[in-house]
Structure 1
């Protein structure tokens, strides 16, 4: 549901693009002009890089793609009617100097684009795997956003998402054995989450300064997504996704997180690194997982 992919996306051909506006249920009037005020937790994300998530689905031999796409186009107007702010745009609140709102006006809508890939050199079986893949093969599948578009709509949740600040001595993280380093990191993260959840006034009063301090020497470590978003339950008519990727971590340096697609209670972690750094990361991750496994068996 976005504008057509860039023309330079190799092997990708746009078949059609339609604009979908909210449609009320039968017998109900059309939506009037409405504005939804943004709260502090929303505004702090206005300048953030939008989350770019790609869903991969495997089609069965009897799947009627045209029928599924037709149902999606028919149901989308009703879905947008229930969540009409997603079709709106962000603007400064009239008469205010430090307030913003998400404005919906009749005629607003979202783009629904159908495109096909020629399959040359890349396929779902190659991309929907847990092994490292080339970013260049996935990134073209993310459509570009238009200038001035409602970027907040892609990440608007009625946000209650805020920053958590974690710090620990470098020598305890890197200089200790795997067990000690992992324990130190886990303890620091747990303490930071507890502090953020309590959300005492002093915590929020100094959050800007703490972000500046955290970014002073290097890019901060951040996580995109959550194991509670249930991305593997998103079924557009093709069944469960074969793989879900947050491609934008390549731009932000974040680590993506999602629930295990098998439903066994695990966690999927995604990261974008240069090949040589990816090899190092995989070795470190394997060491940490081996320690966790041996620790759980001992206990």
Structure 2
């Protein structure tokens, strides 16, 4: 049985990195203002959850600007109090993952009164504008701004870092994926933001009931036996000089991708794929990525795009929209590297067709025998070169106002560990999409050129 970790406030000036000064760390329990603490409880992991048992945690980073006259002490106090309120509603996230007593392969999310979420306050010497730029930045510069999960199975930690050089604040949020998916973790963050601003109509509470996901096929045992290791979840190995950068496809650019796909399909005399804005964006970034890889000599064989599909509305019966847990399944887009890397409409048609087909197969495979071999299939395609996807524009991360304005930039910095592309709605282009990419310097230079060339081609096209 895991023992809950004990937390002590570091001495003033304590440092956990050369540039980061930890001011204090506290364990924030569910708020007592609404009554007694939530009761001791355990939530068994479902087959959707167990897939993520060994995955690297998801690390999000929100950058905010502070007014010159901002009361920083009041901001931090309000953030901590609001965290306590949000944790009360999402109390399982204050617990920890453990092996269920008297079992050998059953895991659960266990909460008991006295548990809480680690909240760290720190200062960092780097400049907020430099840290929050879209341009390539060293991962090592932003990594100290997201907290590590405490030992003992903790699933959630937050860190508020003051960026003294330009009166900025960075909120780092680290979540263990086995506890909940992106819809659940961002639901928690929107609840936190509502508490910070005193919203009159906060988001609805989460639905905390894992019995809503039946398992008649015994997929938990199947998945547990084949669950990927941490190394297998990191499709691209991180280097010491890893960079992260953000690229934006405008609303007009998304539409131009759709138009290019339809026009190319018509030219070939074939039916175009169903090309939603998400399909168009994923196809565009995947094609650019493969063209950049091809420029370094990686142009033969097949490639895979691995991306999540939310199954809440597709379960039988459907799950509530605010179900707290994992209910995403992997979709696999597979295509020839050479065809994906083709410049212009050819690469876009290949990529978007593969993405649309991957969605259709993922949706139709729910509850069928094909799910039995799902993890083996993922391991198989990983060997061919996989680009995975994190995040979603549906999560509305740029709406997270904590009482001092919307974030100026949001990153999923854990993509440096997993090699994923991070998706979000564009903060600068209504209807557009943001894509976070992490590559080594040479790879980043190649990708930037391929992306810029593809945008220029789209802008020059007339459909």
CA–CA distance in structure 2, aligned partners of residues 17 and 90 of structure 1: 21
CA–CA distance in structure 1, aligned partners of residues 68 and 37 of structure 2: 40
> 1:56/1:33 Cα in 2 relative to 1: closer, same or farther (>3 Å)?
same
Q: TM-score normalized by structure 2?
A: 0.59
Which one of the candidate residues 1, 10, 17 is aligned to 1:9?
17
SS at match of 2:137: coil
Partner of 2:440: 274
> 1:31/1:286 Cα in 2 relative to 1: closer, same or farther (>3 Å)?
same
Partner of 2:340: 173
Partner of 2:373: 206
Which one of the candidate residues 252, 255, 264 is aligned to 2:421?
255
Structure 2 gap ranges (5+): 1-6, 157-174, 185-324
Partner of 2:42: 35
* Deviations, residues 99-125 of structure 1 (Å, cap 9, x unaligned): 3221101111111111112x3xx3111
Partner of 2:404: 238
* RMSD value, Cα: 2.2
Q: TM-score normalized by structure 1?
A: 0.89
Q: 1:16-55 alignment to 2 at 5 Å?
A: 16-26=24-34, 28-55=35-62
Please state how far the C-alpha of 1:20 moved relative to its aligned partner: 0.9
CA–CA distance in structure 2, aligned partners of residues 263 and 95 of structure 1: 53
SS at match of 1:276: helix
Partner of 1:126: 130
Tell whether 2:331 aligns with 1:164.
Answer: yes
Which one of the candidate residues 434, 450, 454 is aligned to 1:288?
454
Please state how far the C-alpha of 1:278 moved relative to its aligned partner: 0.9
* Deviations, residues 36-82 of structure 1 (Å, cap 9, x unaligned): 12211111111111111111111112221111111112222221110
Which one of the candidate residues 82, 107, 122 is aligned to 1:75?
82
* Deviations, residues 217-265 of structure 1 (Å, cap 9, x unaligned): 44x2101111111111112222111111111111111111111113611
Bigger strand fraction: 2
SS at match of 1:239: coil
| Greater length-normalized contact order (CA 8 Å, ≥ 6 residues apart) | 1
* Deviations, residues 112-141 of structure 1 (Å, cap 9, x unaligned): 111112x3xx31111221111222211122
Structure 1 gap ranges (5+): none
- Contact residue 334 and residue 354 of structure 2 kept, 8 A: yes
CA–CA distance in structure 2, aligned partners of residues 274 and 145 of structure 1: 26
CA–CA distance in structure 2, aligned partners of residues 263 and 25 of structure 1: 41
**How many residue pairs were aligned?**
289
CA–CA distance in structure 1, aligned partners of residues 46 and 77 of structure 2: 37
Please state how far the C-alpha of 1:85 moved relative to its aligned partner: 0.5
Tell whether 2:216 aligns with 1:216.
Answer: no
